[in-house]
């Protein structure tokens, strides 16, 4: 039942995305390519995480869902792209947060400024964005959100 409810929440998220361009005769028989709509992460304090991701990273509120066992807030960058779903379990079940071997990669016009905002919002800076010789001199930074999720900070392409 919980899996069905989560799938229902993601289906509702799909309804929040911008509508696709009208089909033309040339595209109507062509299947749409797959894409990543959102990724969800468990958080310990939904409102605190919402504040962190909106203030430090510049994401914007899309919608929220209240399920019988979980509350969710969906955020997306103003320019669009994939969303992040902040999920707080309300059923009392134990969850391991932030240490699941994952990272959230964020591109920004100014990764250093984003790192400064993350620090100001209470996030931890692991590595301030700077060129890394091992990856051809690309600018790479790392930070952690309030639940310990690793954020990789990269410049826009």
Banded pLDDT at 7 (limits 50, 70, 90): very low
Banded pLDDT at 96 (limits 50, 70, 90): confident
Positions annotated as catalytic residues are 152
Do the domain assignments include residue 20?
Answer: no
Instruction: Encode the chain in three state secondary structure.
Output: CHHHHHHHHHHHHHHHCCCCCCCCCCCCCCCCCCCCCEEEEECCCHHHHHHHHHHCCCCEEEEEEECCCEEEEEEECCCCCCEEEEEEECCCCCCCCCCCCCEEEEEECCHHHHHHHHHHCCCEEEEEEEEEHHHCCEEEEEEECCCCCEEEEEECC
pLDDT tens digit sequence for 67-79: 999 999 999 999 9
Do the domain assignments include residue 83?
Answer: yes
For residues 67 and 112, give the distance between their C-alpha atoms in angstroms, rounded to a whole number: 37
Banded pLDDT at 117 (limits 50, 70, 90): very high
Do the domain assignments include residue 25?
Answer: no
Tokens of 51: 């504040």
Do the domain assignments include residue 122?
Answer: yes
Do the domain assignments include residue 2?
Answer: no
Return the closest-CA partner of residue 114 out of 142, 138, 136. 142
| Domain count across the chain | 1
Q: Which residues pair with 127 in a beta bridge?
A: 142
Return the closest-CA partner of residue 126 out of 107, 105, 140. 140
CATH number of the domain that residue 59 is part of: 3.10.180.10
Do the domain assignments include residue 149?
Answer: yes
pLDDT tops 50 at residue 19: no
Do the domain assignments include residue 28?
Answer: no
Do the domain assignments include residue 18?
Answer: no
Domain span including residue 104: 38-155
């Amino acid at each position: 039942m919980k899996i069905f409810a989560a799938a229902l929440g993601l289906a509702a998220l799909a309804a929040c995305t911008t509508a696709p361009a009208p089909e033309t005769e040339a595209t109507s028989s062509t299947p749409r390519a797959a894409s990543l709509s959102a990724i969800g992460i468990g958080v310990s304090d939904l409102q605190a995480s919402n504040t962190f991701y909106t203030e430090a990273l510049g994401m914007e509120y899309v919608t929220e869902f209240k399920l019988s066992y979980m509350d969710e807030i969906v955020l997306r960058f103003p320019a669009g792209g994939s969303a992040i779903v902040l999920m707080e379990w309300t059923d009392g079940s134990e969850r391991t947060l932030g240490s699941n071997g994952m990272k959230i990669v964020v591109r920004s016009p100014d990764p250093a400024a984003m790192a400064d905002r993350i620090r100001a919002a209470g996030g931890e800076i692991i590595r301030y964005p700077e060129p890394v010789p091992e990856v051809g001199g690309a600018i790479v930074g790392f930070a952690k959100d309030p639940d310990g999720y690793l954020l990789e900070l990269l410049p826009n392409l």
